[in-house]
A and B are shown apart, each in its own frame.
Chain A
Amino acid sequence: MSRSTHKKEYEIAIIGQPNVGKSTLFNILTGRRAHVANWPGVTVEVHEGETEFDGYKIKLVDLPGIYGFSTLSLEERIARNYILSGRPDAVIVLVDSLNPERTMYLAIQALEMTGKVVIGFTKSDAAHAHGIHINYDLISKRLGVPVIPVSAATLRGIRSLLRAAIDVARGKAGRRKPLRIDYGELEPHVSSIESILRGFEERLEYPIRWMALRLLEGDDDLYKYVKGVCGEAVAEEIQRIREEVRRIFHRDPAELLARKRFEYLRKILGDAIVRLAIKRGRFEGFTRLFYRPFIGPILSIAILLGMFMIAFTINTGFPLNILLDSLGMHGAASAVEEYSIGGLMEKLFSWISGWIINTFGESWLTDLIANGIISGVGSVLIFLPLIMIVSLFLAILEDSGIAPRMAVSLHGPLSKIGVSGHAIFPMTMSLGCNVPAILATRAIPSRSERLRLLITLPFIPCQARLVVILAFASSLVSGYGALLVVLGYAVAFLAFALVNKVLYMLEKRKTGRKEPELVLELPPIHRPLGRVIWWHVWDSSKHFLKKAGTIIFALSIILWFMINVSPSLALTDNPAESIAAGFAHFLSPIVYPIGISPGKAWIVAFALLVGFIAKEAVIETLTILTGTASAQQALALLGLTVPQLAALTVFVVLYVPCIATLAVIYSESRSIKHTLATIALMLSIAYVAMLITYGLSLIL
């Protein structure tokens, strides 16, 4: 590719192994105009950001965190294809100063593909504290590319890194040709493949030497490519050479090549890195606790429970209000509830609604705005603080390095239901919202485990469902209310565990697969960067606000019309004459078995139908349809008994995730069958559980 030195715009890629601090640095370089991700797997999408430097426009492309360039995972494939495409004018490879020997592996693999590389040593401020001294110039001289120490904490080296990348892009620095590592006794075999490929040089898009190495390593993607371009015979010949290597050395060629690369790295880094003292982290004792039996899982669960208790209390007053109530402190309990963020926001929204109607008079339009849109969007916005608090805690756990330890501690208990410790991240997120939880399953290495989680994660009640449970609970005397909340969560986790277990057993019988496996890097525990934490919080809030502003907004309007317009398209004050009622009468038989009379069943049925779109709307629908002001009044008017409420709670918790979650399940599994199966499974389990709950609570 010809490179113009007059070009003023460059595309620069950033790659690095997980935990080297890549996302943080990318955000600093771009001035925070892209998503940062530290929950494993969130950076699967490629992010782009723009910046200007020295009069050059730079497009920065943040590739997913990867360990190498095999085609093991989608991330590796994306990164590799992008670098080989020739699009990036320079590639910044980030290396962890605290673990250069390991994390440089990616850098030399990149160098084998292209010479247009800059190596950035991250966390350079911490290296000294750990007694690690690195001779950057020596490494740079040996590899022939710029090597720059940087720090996200002190912002040292950021400008030098960009300058070096521009120099490489302009052809003023970097290597002209990819790095050539001497693979010793493997060389004859590598050159045999090279000479075969050379016969097709003009038709092959990638560097010959690199292709030969990757083919020897057993790269299936590349093998298929070569088979397509050069024909069956050539592919077979390459396969034969690979088998020959395996026979001669009694080793997997992939292993031999990996060892050679690490040997080469030792030569490059050996005298360029001096370790004065190996200092163990301050938190060593604390982290060890996570690995202990009993203590580890208990500690992890305590952290998660504590986190949600605090978040829920700040937001809704629950469970502190119920606790105070049961201690006889009723005044304090209602104060906690009233002055929780949710309580205050609720007041604010009802004040705005009242103000609009008072100021502009009662008309269908003010009713639509006040009772349709504001109460609809408001009932969802109430969750924003909760989402912010939960994502704050999750970000702290992840960025500090505690999260992967929790995964290790819970791997044992979780493998009993067929999932690995990796699953704890999506499970925890599910308690907040199912949508990011399902995206987080991307970090799970086992595909079958991931598919099982896509089906089962929606059983874990998100905050929207919590609100429904809380509203139901509020209509009961306090003792029963608390019990109802416990029932909701217990049933949900039971369903999650049982369905996982059953799916796992079925799979085991079919494929004979053994226990779930775990391979997880445990980065050193450190104090999280405030900036990074804030990015997390802001990103999840933004996502949520977008949802409230679009889906919920539209839904509120549709809902208002369905409730206020009769089938003959005339405005009506009586919901029982509305389109919604006409529609819901078809569905009402589903709640007959739990003894709800036909006159009221349609209201419940319609609320459940709306809950299919967004769970938080169940309560809103109930209050609007009964013409009451609160869930408490609505439920009183419907005259639901305790067993009926218990049965409905169980159904709401289990029946089907919201539309947004279903959309992600579809986009992640790319299978309509899978998505429909999830719906069918959840509906039938929810229905059966509802009937069982009703039956049992009648007996009790």
Chain B
Amino acid sequence: MSTPRQITLEQMPSGSRGRVVEIIGRGGWIYRLYQMGLTPGVTVDVVMNIGRGPIIIRVMGVEIAIGRGIARRIIVEPINP
């Protein structure tokens, strides 16, 4: 079995779903993401990603807007429906 493809959250298209693998980096904002339920292992739905501006995701039933810089540091494994 090949290892699942890993991409960043920024590369996930609208309507796609993925599982968070890793969040790279340190600092305050990473704790905020954990507190908002965005931890490795959790499933995220990309509500909207139009290639620019913040990405809208749904985690644990809550919609969150995430800037692209942070989205680039969230590693995701896409889940095929």
Contacts and interface: CB of A to CB of B under 8 A. Distances in A.
Interface stretch (A178-186, A302-310, A511-519): A511-519
B76 to A, nearest CB: 15
Given A518-B70, A521-B64, 16 more contacts: A72-B31, A73-B28, A99-B60, A99-B61, A102-B59, A102-B62, A409-B53, A411-B54, A412-B52, A515-B69, A516-B67, A518-B65, A519-B33, A522-B63, A522-B64, A524-B63
Contacts of B62: 99, 102, 521-523
Interface string B3-47: 000000000000000000001001011111111110111100001
Contacts of B31: 68, 70, 72, 254
Interface residues of B, number: 35
A293 interface: yes
Nearest to A412: B53
A554 interface: no
Contacts of B52: 293, 412
Contact of A102 (B29, B32, B33, B60): B60
B47 to A, nearest CB: 8
Contact of B63 (A67, A519, A521): A521
Given A408-B56, A411-B54, A517 B26 contact: no
Nearest to A296: B53
B50 interface: yes
Interface in A70-94: 70, 72-73
A521 to B, nearest CB: 6
Most buried by B among A255, A445, A518: A518
Given A519-B70, A522-B63, A522-B64, A72 B54 contact: no
Most buried by B among A259, A262, A291: A291
A105 B39 contact: no
Nearest to A17: B35
A255 B34 contact: yes
Contacts of B64: 519-522
Contact of B40 (A259, A411, A523, A524): A259
Contacts of B36: 67, 102, 519, 521
A517 B61 contact: no
Shortest beta-carbon contacts, A-B, top 8 = A67-B35, A258-B34, A518-B67, A68-B35, A522-B63, A102-B60, A517-B67, A412-B53
A67 B53 contact: no
Interface in A253-274: 254-255, 258-259, 262
A516 B64 CA distance: 16
A420 to B, nearest CB: 7
Contact of A105 (B35, B66, B67): B35
A408 B65 contact: yes
Contacts of B56: 291, 408, 522
Interface residues of A, number: 42
Contacts of A70: 31, 35
A517 B69 contact: yes
A458 interface: no
B28 A291 contact: no
Contact of B61 (A102, A251, A296): A102
A412 B63 CA distance: 19
Contacts of B63: 521-524
B65 A519 contact: yes
Contacts of A420: 67
A101 interface: yes
B40 A404 contact: no
A445 to B, nearest CB: 7
Contacts of B50: 291-293
A133 to B, nearest CB: 15
A107 to B, nearest CB: 13
A3 interface: no
A118 B49 CA distance: 39
Contacts of B26: 252
Nearest to A250: B22
Nearest to B70: A517
A288 interface: yes
A421 interface: yes
Nearest to A278: B61
Most buried by B among A252, A288, A407: A252
B23 A255 contact: yes
Contacts of B35: 67-68, 70, 105, 258
A407 B64 CA distance: 12
A262 B56 CA distance: 22
